[in-house]
């Protein structure tokens, strides 16, 4: 395989992956839309807006030309937000080699269509090209990956060969990659955990305690799994890195944009004020809109997501949302989990 790797996007995660890859691979080429980012990366070897305090290896190069960035690349990493995925994919499609693998790192759903990003890829590239699509997901803050802090994530694809190529390329002493054929589960785990992280941030802003956070994470995982099984995901995926692993780190870490935005809202800020404070993409906001529509369409119960939607878009006070969740009728935890699993396993017979 040609060693050239192209990274589309110059945000924090895209830049962190460039740093990680350049430390043990050959030259990495980043496409940045803004000329000031290109100049800073090439001249000063830093990306102060999105990854402050990190010196970029000299083998990381930036350009605002998609053609130059993609020329000769055998692997392209999509590091753009989920709401930009389709638009950018259309832009790069005519520039890709016929065998170029596409590694998607965005975590979200397309808001208008309610599609997962692999489904967007299928619409734009064609079903027979799906073997080229790999989603990279899991508990992985850019700030830590860029500092070589040990991290483990998942590469998922309908083609195990493609997933293994990503595994071989990205894995080193600080980055461990597992493969998984369950693209549906890995994509949903990465997207929906951001909604729950907004909720745990709100709880923190309200000065609730660890009990509340643990309840939100655990019951959040239950509703993520319910929706995932309904869409054909393997329930075991949600017990792994792209499920509970990513959920835990996003709900509890100081690096989490979604948790930080939620904390601002819990302390009384409006959604607009919270987003302005974070000053980076908060994927959970758009995903909340899409997930509620999808849950209604499929008749899947997602109470935390429903209350998050009311807080974000219907002016419900965060404290009332918590009361609404706590006042719901009784449930049997094990029976609920068993029914969800039975639905998946019987569909596989």
* Residue 87 falls in the annotated catalytic set: no
Joined together, the tokens standing for residue 167 give 């595994």
Task: Give dist(CA 42, CA 2) in Å, integer.
Answer: 23
Task: Give dist(CA 243, CA 18) in Å, integer.
Answer: 24
Q: Which of 193, 293, 310, 343 is catalytic?
A: 193
Exposure of 46 in the CB half-sphere (CA atoms within 13 A): 7
H helices of 58-182, in order, are 66-70, 85-92, 117-125, 142-145, 160-170
DSSP state of 149: -
Measured from the Cβ of residue 88, the count of other Cβ atoms closer than 10 Å reads 19
> Do the Cβ atoms of 262 and 276 come closer than 8 Å?
no
Residues 6+ away with beta carbon under 8 Å from 196: 216, 217, 220, 221, 224, 247, 250, 251, 304
- Nearest alpha carbon to residue 37 among 87, 79, 3: 79
Task: Give dist(CA 104, CA 80) in Å, integer.
Answer: 9
Task: Give dist(CA 61, CA 39) in Å, integer.
Answer: 10
Return the residue matching tokens 């959040």: 220
Catalytic residues: 193
């Amino acid at each position: 395989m040609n060693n050239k790797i192209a990274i589309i996007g110059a945000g924090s995660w895209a830049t962190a992956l460039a740093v990680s890859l350049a430390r043990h691979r050959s030259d990495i080429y980043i496409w940045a839309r803004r000329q000031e980012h290109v100049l800073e990366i090439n001249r000063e070897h830093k990306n102060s807006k999105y990854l402050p305090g990190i010196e970029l290896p000299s083998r990381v190069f930036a350009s605002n030309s998609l053609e130059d960035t993609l020329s000769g690349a055998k692997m392209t990493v999509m590091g753009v937000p989920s709401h930009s995925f389709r638009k950018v994919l259309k832009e790069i499609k005519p520039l890709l080699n016929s065998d170029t693998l596409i590694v998607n790192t965005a975590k979200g759903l397309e808001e208008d269509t309610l599609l997962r990003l692999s489904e967007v890829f299928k619409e734009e590239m064609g079903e027979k090209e799906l073997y080229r699509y790999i989603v990279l997901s899991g508990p992985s803050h850019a700030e830590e990956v860029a500092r070589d802090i040990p991290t483990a994530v998942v590469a998922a694809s309908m083609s195990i060969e493609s997933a293994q190529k990503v595994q071989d390329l990205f894995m080193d002493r600080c980055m461990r990659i597992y493969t998984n054929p369950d693209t549906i589960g890995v994509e949903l785990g990465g997207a929906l955990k951001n909604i729950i992280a907004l909720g745990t941030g709100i709880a923190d802003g309200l000065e609730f305690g660890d009990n509340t956070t643990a309840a939100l994470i655990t019951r959040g995982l239950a509703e993520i799994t319910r929706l995932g099984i309904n869409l054909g995901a393997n329930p075991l995926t949600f017990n792994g890195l792209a499920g509970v692993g990513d959920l835990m780190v996003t709900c509890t870490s100081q690096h989490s944009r979604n948790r930080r935005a939620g904390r601002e809202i819990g302390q009384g800020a409006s959604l607009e004020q919270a987003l302005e404070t974070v000053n980076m993409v908060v994927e959970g906001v758009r995903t909340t809109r899409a997930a509620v529509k999808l849950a209604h369409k499929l008749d899947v119960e997602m109470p935390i997501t429903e209350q998050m939607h009311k807080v974000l878009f219907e002016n419900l006070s965060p404290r009332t949302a918590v009361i609404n969740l706590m006042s719901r009728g009784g449930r049997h935890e094990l029976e609920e989990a068993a029914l969800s699993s039975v639905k998946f396993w019987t569909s596989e017979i």
